[in-house]
Amino acid sequence: MIKVSLAPSARLMRRISMGAALSAGIMVLALTPAEAAKTTLNLGMSVEPAGLDPTIAAPVAIGQVTWQNIFEGLVSIDETGKVQPQLAKSWEISPDGLTYTFKLQSGVKFHDGEAFDSAAAKFALDRARGKDSVNPQKRFFSSIASIDTPDAETLVLHLSSPTGSLVYWLGWPASVMVGPKSAADDKTTPVGTGPFKFSTWAKGDHVELVKNADYWNKDDAAKLDKVTFRFINDPQAQAAALKSGDLDAFPEFAAPELMSSFDGDARLTTKIGNTELKVVAGMNNARKPFDDKRVRQALMMAIDRQTVIDGAWSGLGTAIGSHYTPNDPGYQDMTGVLPYNVEKAKALLAEAGYPNGFTFTIKSPQMAYAPRSAQVIQAMLAEIGVTMNIEPTEFPAKWVKDVMTSRDYDMTIVAHAEPMDIDIYSRDPYYFNYKNPAFNDLMKKVQNTADPAEQAKIYGEAQKILAEDVPALYLFVMPKLGVWDKKLKGLWENEPIPSNVLSNVSWEE
Amino acid sequence: MIALLSRRLAGLVITLLVVSLVIFAVMDLLPGDPASIMLGTSASPETLAALRRDLGLDQPLLIRYGQWLAGVFSGNLGQSYTYGVPVAGLIIERLAVTLPLALIAIMLSVLIALPLGVLAAARRGGIMDAIATVFSQVSIAVPAFWVALLLIILFSTTLGLMPAGGFPGWGTGFLPALQALIMPAVALALPQAGVLTRVTRSAVLDTMHEDFARTAVAKGLSRSAVLWRHIVPNALVPILTILGLQFTFLVAGAVLVENVFNLPGLGRLAFQALSQRDIIVMQDVVLFFAGLVIVMNFIVDLSYLAIDPRMRKAA
């Protein structure tokens, strides 16, 4: 560790200038080599990850760098959102849904040479579910009662209650397999089993991965030799980096209003797909007047979702009628349940006892979509006599404290990034303060079966309840605004789980 | 002289201590818990408690302050919550961007402003004076980040001559790193140059009317000799004061320009740390900024003594 005290800053400056002089000398020796056939990729992201271990912190950006590139899971989730075998080549679920037996791949090694076997898998799961675990999705593992390892290639999970989503959850970034020897340092030097190895992290600027030559799965081996994730949070700077050729791809470009600026660029192509980010205006269902379903329905009917999408996100995005996206299994279009209808909205409001409307405050985070959507909604609610004040609320710090923890708010607006998180409406406590036993029953039922068709059916019923009950105003799914070099192949266009899976990415000759 | 220096040094240390206490208290008042930000919206209360314990956030305020201060004095600035690495290393990495950036910007601004300001004063009311006035008004009025955007549009996206942003690191060589810094430095230097031109002009004008200037003219020295040998050195005190202020401003205040050019500088580190509530990083960086301001003022004071013998005597 470099130790430095603050007082003698002259010494500090001297040290830095010496470093600069030294690197100037090195530069003369090592001029950049001429570029050969392209096997490198410069990929842009808006947010720099906070640490590189997805099993100890929640930020989506961690998975977007490491998941499927550095770290792999027992299973993975593919581009269509389906579960696929990975480090587990197969699994069996006992008829009572309480025993999961996984058969593991053989000959798999972590990047540091440590073997991946059932003991390592047990270690990773125990670390995630243990008493001291800080895994952001610890609840995924709460039904695991014990883990057996009858041999190196067999892993048996004994559950305390049926958990139909378990296999899907095991495909998540928070469930990846980490090595017993290396796990403690994964935050800064991640070691996984994936097709890419961690190389360097210049904090504030970029993370570099290199191809793992010893990757176990020849079918999915990396085609690129080197990938550099560059972090650029300013949308203008993102656009400039793409146009100047500094970047080859920006899979999730941050500014929809700048998308048309790439039209006609001979080198770049744009792709608009779906994400899992559901923009919803959550209401405090325990607080008047939002405890009255008719009021919530009236507000929903006063909102024309397409106008919100046009105003807030340049018309890019898909309207939704419940907390579910077209990527998800069993998706049903619920936008017709409470369609835009000002007259009906007014009537419902009068019926609920607010013929002259009411006044409330929305706590709006600073992310571009939120204030823009809030302003459009403000204008539309004024049409039915409801006055909405917009209170800017810093995200995440202040928002988490006010809305998430204290539940001290009337309405808020936020994009929920977690895939398949419709069950948040059954969590107690959760910031909506929504309580519906029928909905909770459905969420229990969905865990009692591991049959995808049965689950899809139940999710359909759940979507229907939310669409009619509107504990939150369902607005739109964020688009995945991909901008990349036309010659680049294999990047995901949709995003059933936040990620940048790169093993199949390559340059066209 | 020595008494003065030691008095100033003691004052410096006390100021830093007071500043550290204020910083710590303010950070504690900020709403938002670093642990809950790291763990996201799905974390259970037990998980949160476990992480708070890991980070030492469950300790009482005064103990945390004491631990931090003891760490700072022993050179251990603590570990960043979000990056998981020592903060001292982070600050040094960022200084390797911000310090050269600030130095280049200061150099550019001096190179523009000093000749322009002196010439404007020497030919008061002439063409140079008009040019200097227009230049300083425009460059002060135009925000640095906007100049930054214009530079990017012209030199990066249109002409393709310069990288649009980012920093390759000094390890990749001196020229690529310098190339990444030059446009941000220009953007930062312009408003500074505007201010400096004005200060130089008025300082030189003031000095012109001093007795020694008249005496020098009366002795028969040439105009330019009087100007450069007698007037300009004596006008340096206010100019240096502004330069000292500008340097600290450039190190701490470059965050907007660093954002536009996506430079991993100290300003952006502070900004990121604020939004992530990486409190330990914020405390250290703000303390560093405060220390920098105090130390710069100290250096400026010392340089007065070096420039002006009268001040040495007064001390």
Measure the CA–CA gap between B37 and B48, rounded to whole angstroms: 10
- Residue A353 Ramachandran class (φ > 0 left, ψ -120 to 50 alpha, else beta): left
On chain A, the residues whose CB falls within 8 A of the CB of B153 are 240
Does residue B8 or residue A242 have the better pLDDT? A242
Q: How confident is the model at residue B100 (pLDDT cuts 50, 70, 90)?
A: very high
What average pLDDT does range A439-466 have in this prediction? Answer: 96
Q: Is A132 on the interface with B (CB under 8 A)?
A: yes
Nearest to A23 among B50, B92, B173 (CB): B173
Q: How confident is the model at residue A66 (pLDDT cuts 50, 70, 90)?
A: very high
- pLDDT for A3 equals 38
- pLDDT for A36 equals 54
What average pLDDT does range B251-275 have in this prediction? Answer: 87
Q: What is the mean pLDDT of chain B?
A: 88
What average pLDDT does range A112-141 have in this prediction? Answer: 96
CB contact (8 A) between residue B54 and residue A134: yes
- pLDDT for B168 equals 86
Residue A362's SS3 state is strand
- pLDDT for A396 equals 86
Neighbours of B138 (CB within 10 A): 12
| DSSP secondary structure letter of residue A107 | S
**Alpha carbon separation from A425 to A282, A329, A420, A506, B66 (Å, rounded):** 11, 18, 12, 41, 43
DSSP state letters, B176-207: HHHHHHHHHHHHHHHHHHHHHHHHHHHHHHHH
Q: How confident is the model at residue A323 (pLDDT cuts 50, 70, 90)?
A: very high
**Among residues B265, B289, B247, B258, which one has the least CA distance to residue B144?**
B258
- pLDDT for A33 equals 45
What average pLDDT does range A90-103 have in this prediction? Answer: 96
B155-183 confidence digits (pLDDT tens) = 988 888 888 888 988 888 899 999 999 99
Residue A178 has pLDDT above 50, yes or no: yes
Residue A116 has pLDDT above 50, yes or no: yes
What average pLDDT does range B195-218 have in this prediction? Answer: 89
- pLDDT for A69 equals 98
What average pLDDT does range A355-375 have in this prediction? Answer: 96
Does residue A485 or residue B34 have the better pLDDT? A485
ipTM: 0.82
DSSP state letters, B213-279: HHHHHHTT--HHHIIIIIIHHHHHHHHHHHHHHHHHHHHHHTHHHHHHTT---HHHHHHHHHHHT-H
A9-43 confidence digits (pLDDT tens) = 444 444 444 444 444 444 444 444 444 579 999 99
Does residue B236 or residue A455 have the better pLDDT? A455
Neighbours of A242 (CB within 10 A): 28
- pLDDT for A181 equals 97
What average pLDDT does range A230-255 have in this prediction? Answer: 93
Q: Return the residue in B262, B283, B286, B302 with the most chain A beta carbons within 10 A, the one to mutate for interface testing.
A: B262
Q: Is B27 on the interface with A (CB under 8 A)?
A: no
Length of chain B: 315
| Closest approach of A54 to chain B, Cα-based (Å) | 10
Write out the two tokens for A332. 């049903």
Residue A353 has pLDDT above 90, yes or no: yes
Residue A315 has pLDDT above 70, yes or no: yes
Evaluate whether A380 touches A303 at the Cβ level (below 8 Å): yes
Evaluate whether B263 touches B251 at the Cβ level (below 8 Å): no
Q: Is the peptide bond before A289 cis (omega within 30 degrees of 0)?
A: yes
What average pLDDT does range B63-73 have in this prediction? Answer: 89
Measure the CA–CA gap between B276 and B272, rounded to whole angstroms: 6
Measure the CA–CA gap between A485 and B273, rounded to whole angstroms: 33
Residue A197 has pLDDT above 70, yes or no: yes
CB contact (8 A) between residue B51 and residue A134: yes
The chain A residue lying nearest B36, using CA atoms, is: A400
**Of A25-34, A49-58, A358-367, B103-112, the least confident:** A25-34
Residue B84's SS3 state is coil
The chain B residue lying nearest A6, using CA atoms, is: B288
Nearest to B82 among A7, A50, A136 (CB): A50
What average pLDDT does range A403-421 have in this prediction? Answer: 95
Q: How confident is the model at residue A4 (pLDDT cuts 50, 70, 90)?
A: very low
Measure the CA–CA gap between B102 and B138, rounded to whole angstroms: 21
The chain A residue lying nearest B278, using CA atoms, is: A50
Residue A345 has pLDDT above 60, yes or no: yes
Residue B298's SS3 state is helix
Evaluate whether A191 touches A474 at the Cβ level (below 8 Å): no
The amino acid present at B122, given as its one-letter code, is A
The answer for A 219-238 residues in CB contact with B (under 8 A) is: 230-234, 236-237
- pLDDT for B313 equals 67
Residue A1 has pLDDT above 70, yes or no: no
- pLDDT for B225 equals 85
Measure the CA–CA gap between B209 and B202, rounded to whole angstroms: 11
Cα-flanking dihedrals φ and ψ of residue A168, to 5°?
A: -60, -45
**Of A26-40, A202-216, B206-220, B223-237, the least confident:** A26-40
On chain B, the residues whose CB falls within 8 A of the CB of A23 are 170-171, 173-174, 177
What average pLDDT does range A119-136 have in this prediction? Answer: 95
Residues 6+ apart with CB under 8 A from B65: B21, B24
Write out the two tokens for B290. 């405060």
Evaluate whether A250 touches A488 at the Cβ level (below 8 Å): no
Residue A463 has pLDDT above 90, yes or no: yes
A275-284 confidence digits (pLDDT tens) = 999 999 999 9
Evaluate whether B95 touches A17 at the Cβ level (below 8 Å): no
Measure the CA–CA gap between B248 and A188, rounded to whole angstroms: 32
DSSP state letters, A209-260: EEE-TT-S-GGG--S-SEEEEEE---HHHHHHHHHTTS-SEETT-S-GGGGG
**Alpha carbon separation from B92 to A408, B17, B264, B279 (Å, rounded):** 41, 22, 11, 18
Residue A377 has pLDDT above 50, yes or no: yes
Q: Return the residue in A230, A233, A236, A238 with the most chain B beta carbons within 10 A, the one to mutate for interface testing.
A: A236
